[in-house]
Structure formats: structure tokens, C-alpha cells
A = this chain, B = another copy of it.
């Protein structure tokens, strides 16, 4: 692991993600020198790290076990992404001084590729049966149309959205406020394992880190920044989902909300968003509405000629093998047949098909996957 990456791991373990002072320090002198500066106890005054904050960082430095974190990450097959990596989502740069220094990632998918065509579905933990039903339907239908479902892995709306995407054999990304090896909430342990098998668990916090209330809020900006838009399914007036919504709006992302009964407290946050002053939150009732909003023409997501957004030789070997095995017939072939033909295991095949769909190489059909031919509409009815 290169020195820059190690230094970022150290800085993000010692500092707290979202700390603008540390970000400015890295921006000014680079991560390696920033680490050394913190260790020395002297940083350029103009980055805005106070003496007190610096003392705090140095105290935490004693407690942070860098080698231990990297060892645990290697054990569960995780990886560390930093800006400049091919898999680093460039959209995180829109966060400016609040951009993450690094991401810990667990799972088979390519983060940047699957987020090219992704939507965040967020909402209340104390969701009603209506909210979880709508979230699961949206998750499944968006996955069906080749969209990646990003959420926060929480109980209620988040979990329902992830499960909907999983049920549709789609790709889903859980952005956590804990280490990607920590099952929080514990009830979601099996779901997180399932997500890692085809999609991704993502976090700014090192392995074994536990979530805190402020961390959930800091995490939300990453959900908003990774995606083309955020859908709030249910939210009471003080829901954290409204914080994600604010980030989406501030970042110029599409902000959408699902209406509900005006008699339901859990829809009040959504209705407030929909009643707020411009820029308007878009009312959405189904996946089609969401795609109409985030996939608007002129978005630069699909090339006008319907060609893939990545050159074929940028694909990894597994993706190329899977792509070779996808038929051009209108009905396509199921993932199982493609996996067999490509000699690639089924979970890997599924995650690569999602990547190939997100980047415009293949399309879903009712029964499987087919090659996309130029000038084919990008997302036909599955």
C-alpha cells in the first residue's frame, strides 16, 4: 500500500470524517506530510485546525491501530479507495471540503461504475407498513431497470429499499456510519452479508468502528453525493432522511419525495419537502417517475447514440468474460446461463451484469440480459 493511502487511513482513523480542517491540511500539503504535521504537533495556521483540535487528534493517534484496521479489512476481503483510484466515484468531489479522504469498501461491485446510474432511497427507521412496502417496490423496480439502489442500511425504509433491490437481483450499496464489518443494526447482519456478495458496503470509518448519532448525519452527505438523486419515502418532521435530502439539494442532485396519507405522521416530512419553496422537490409515485426525473435527457448519463459510457478495454477480466457470454437476442439469457457460458461464478456474474448495465453494455429483458445495441432505448421495460 502506497504512503499516500496509508497516510489517509491514518488521518481518517485519527481525525473524524467530515473534519474540514484535516481536509484542508491534506489539500495543502498532501496526506503524507499532513500525517507528519499532526504527529509533530504543528500545522499551518491557515488550514484552521485549532490547538485544541490538534491536541485531540494527537491523543486519538495513540489509540488508533492502523495495522490492525488494515489487517481486519484484508481478512474480510475489503479494500481502501482514495481519490484518483479508478473505482473512486468522482462525484464525491462535489462535496468540496466535506469530501471523504477515503472509503472502506466491502463487496464485489465496482463502486464508481455502479453509482453511475444510482438513486438513493432513504426514510424513517420507524417506517409504517406503507413506507416499507413503497421502499421495497421502488428498490425492486429501480433494480429491475438497471439502477443501483443506495441507502443507509438502517431499519425501516433503508432496509426495505436494499431488500427490494436484492430481491430483484439488482445491485445495492449500503453507506454505513460504522465499519463495513460491523453489523449495525444487528438485525441486518444477514442482509449486509447478502449486499456484500453482489453489491457494496461502504464507510468512511475504519473496521470495528461503531456508529454514533453525529456519524449518521456526517454519513448522509456521502449517500447524497454518490447518487443522481435522492428519494425520501417516509420521514417525520425530525427524520435524518431530511438531512440527506438537504445534502442532495445543496449538491444540485435531484430531490424526490413519495407522498402518503395526510393523516400519517410519517409522511409529514415528505409533504413538507413537497410544499417547500423552489427548487422544487419532485413528487414521485413509482420507479418510472424516479427514472423520468433522474434519467432526464441531457443528463450526460447515456450517450445520445446509446453507446456504453466506458470503453470496452477498461473493463476488468470478469466483466469482459461475462460480456462475451451475453447474447444479442431480443429476449436475452438468464444470469445463470450467462455465468455458465462465461465460466464465472453466479454472484460475480450478477455484479458484473449490473456494472455492464450501468455503463451501457447490456440491458435487462423480462427473462434475463441481452447486449445493448446502439440506438436501442437505454432502459426498456423489463
| Contact mask for chain A residues 4-40; partner B; CB cutoff 8 A; 1 contact, 0 none | 0000000000000000000000000000000000000
Q: Say yes or no: A286-B262 contact (C-beta < 8 A), given A274-B274, A280-B280.
A: yes
Smallest Cβ-Cβ distance to A233: which chain B residue: B262
Interface flag for A289 (CB, 8 Å): yes
Measured in the bound complex, the distance between the Cα atoms of B283 and A112 in whole Å is: 37
B259 touching A274, Cβ below 8 Å: yes
Smallest Cβ-Cβ distance to A272: which chain B residue: B285
**Chain B residue contacts of A259, Cβ below 8 A:** 259-262, 267, 271, 274, 283
Smallest Cβ-Cβ distance to A258: which chain B residue: B262
Measured in the bound complex, the distance between the Cα atoms of B133 and A141 in whole Å is: 32
Across the interface, A283 reaches (CB within 8 A) one of B283, B284, B285, namely B283
Q: Say yes or no: A275-B271 contact (C-beta < 8 A), given A259-B260, A263-B133.
A: no
A262 touching B274, Cβ below 8 Å: no
Smallest Cβ-Cβ distance to A268: which chain B residue: B285
Smallest Cβ-Cβ distance to A275: which chain B residue: B283
Measured in the bound complex, the distance between the Cα atoms of B264 and A267 in whole Å is: 15
Measured in the bound complex, the distance between the Cα atoms of B259 and A212 in whole Å is: 35
Interface residues on chain A, number (Cβ under 8 Å):
21
| Contact mask for chain A residues 355-370; partner B; CB cutoff 8 A; 1 contact, 0 none | 0000000000000000
**Stoichiometry, copies per complex:** 2
**Chain B residue contacts of A303, Cβ below 8 A:** none
Interface flag for A64 (CB, 8 Å): no
Q: Say yes or no: A130-B280 contact (C-beta < 8 A), given A274-B274, A285-B271, A289-B275.
A: no
Interface flag for A201 (CB, 8 Å): no
Interface flag for A253 (CB, 8 Å): no
Interface flag for A307 (CB, 8 Å): no
Interface flag for A245 (CB, 8 Å): no
| Contact mask for chain A residues 263-281; partner B; CB cutoff 8 A; 1 contact, 0 none | 1000110010011000010
Q: How far is the CB of A130 from chain B (nearest CB, A)?
A: 6
**Chain B residue contacts of A275, Cβ below 8 A:** 282-285, 289
A261 touching B262, Cβ below 8 Å: no
Q: Say yes or no: A130-B285 contact (C-beta < 8 A), given A274-B274, A280-B280.
A: no
Interface flag for A134 (CB, 8 Å): yes
Across the interface, A134 reaches (CB within 8 A) one of B262, B271, B284, B285, namely B262
Measured in the bound complex, the distance between the Cα atoms of B130 and A263 in whole Å is: 9
- Chain A interface (Cβ < 8 Å from any Cβ of B): 130, 133-134, 258-263, 267-268, 271, 274-275, 280, 282-286, 289
Lowest 4 A-B CB distances belong to which pairs?
A259-B259, A262-B285, A274-B283, A271-B285
Additional 7 contacts, C-beta under 8 A, given A133-B263, A274-B283: A130-B261, A259-B261, A259-B267, A261-B261, A275-B285, A275-B289, A283-B283
